Structure 1
C-alpha cells in the first residue's frame, strides 16, 4: 500500500475512536525497517484497545497487512505493526515517561484534518467532472451558436429583393396620355366638340334654326 494512503487510513481509524494528540513522524532517514511512526493517546485501557482494533480493521479493509497488536493485555501501551508504519497507542502518563517524540520525532508529517481532506478530494473530483463535461459542452454550444447563426440570420424579403432589382434597372418614362383618353364618354364628347369647331360659322348658323335655312335658300330680289 502507498505510504500516504496508509498513514491517512491509520489517522482516520484513530480519529474514529477519538484518539488524542495524534502525531506522524517520517523515519525514512533513521531506519529502513519502517517509514512512519504514529503516536496517539487514549484516556483509558478500554480506549487504547478500541483504538488498536480500529486501526487493525481499517488497514486490513484497505488492503494493507497488519500484525496482531501487542500490549492489549494491560492496555497502557498498545503497538500495532502495519508494515511500513508502526502505531504506538499510549496512555498520557506512559507517553510522557517514554517520550517517543524525542526518539522518532526529528521529521514530523503534517496531515490535514479529515474534513479538510474530504473537502479537498471532493473538490478535485468536482473540478475533474466539470473539466470533462466542459469539453463536449463547449463544442455543443459552439455548434448551437453556428446553427443559430445560420438559422437566425434574417433572410431578405421577396419584396425587398424585387425593389432592389427594379431600382438597379434604368427607368423609362412612358409617353403621357391625354386626360380624356381614360374615359370613353369624355373621348366622344371631345371628338364631337372638335368636329363642331371645324365647321364654318355660317353653316352652323344655317343649320342651327329652320328660318335661317329657308332664308338662305331664297335668292335675293
Structure 2
C-alpha cells in the first residue's frame, strides 16, 4: 500500500474511535525505522487500547503487514508499527511527558 493511502487509512481508524489531537510527523532522514509518525491522544487506558486495536484491525483488513505492537496491556502509550508509518496512541499525560513532537525536532505536517 502506498504511504499516503496508509496514512489516510490510519487517520480514519483513529478518527473512527474519537482519538484526539491527531498529528502527522515527517521523520524521513531523522529516523531509521520509519518515515512518518502519527500521534494521537486517548482519554483513558481503555480508550488508548481500543484506538490502537482499531488501527491494527483496519490495517489487517486492508492487507497491510503489521510489524508489531507495544504497550497494549498497560495502554498508557500504545505503539502500532506498520513499517513506513508508526502510530503512537497516548494518554495526554504521557504525551506531554514524552513530547514526541519536540523530541523529533520537526513541526507537525498537519493535524491529520
- TM-score interval w.r.t. the shorter chain? over 0.9
Cα distance in 1, alignment partners of residues 98 and 32 from structure 2:
22
User: Structure 1, unaligned stretches of length 5 or more?
Assistant: 113-221
Distance 1:66 1:58, change over 3 A: same
Cα distance in 1, alignment partners of residues 49 and 110 from structure 2:
25
Q: CA RMSD in A?
A: 1.5
TM-score by length of 2: 0.92
Cα distance in 2, alignment partners of residues 27 and 66 from structure 1:
19
Find the residue that maps to 2:63 and give its secondary structure. Answer: coil
**Could you tell me which residue of structure 2 aligns to residue 24 of structure 1?**
24
Q: Is the 8 A contact 1:37 1:104 kept in 2?
A: no
Judging by fraction of residues, say which structure has more strand: 2
Cα distance in 1, alignment partners of residues 29 and 68 from structure 2:
26
TM-score by length of 1: 0.48
Distance 1:35 1:61, change over 3 A: same
Find the residue that maps to 1:43 and give its secondary structure. Answer: coil
Judging by fraction of residues, say which structure has more helix: 1
**Could you tell me which residue of structure 2 aligns to residue 169 of structure 1?**
none
Is 1:43 matched up with 2:53? no
Q: CA deviation at 1:108?
A: 2.5
Cα distance in 2, alignment partners of residues 4 and 107 from structure 1:
18
**Could you tell me which residue of structure 1 aligns to residue 109 of structure 2?**
109
Q: Is the 8 A contact 1:43 1:91 kept in 2?
A: yes
Find the residue that maps to 1:5 and give its secondary structure. Answer: helix
Equivalences for 1:163-174 in 2 at 5 Å? none
**Could you tell me which residue of structure 1 aligns to residue 3 of structure 2?**
3
Cα distance in 2, alignment partners of residues 105 and 80 from structure 1:
21
Equivalences for 1:32-181 in 2 at 5 Å? 32-104=32-104, 106-110=106-110
| Structure 1 segments of 4+ aligned residues over 2 angstroms from their partners | 107-112
Q: Is the 8 A contact 1:27 1:107 kept in 2?
A: no
Number of matched residues?
112
Distance 1:61 1:20, change over 3 A: same
Cα distance in 2, alignment partners of residues 111 and 93 from structure 1:
19
Whose RCO is larger (CA < 8 A, sep 6+)? 2
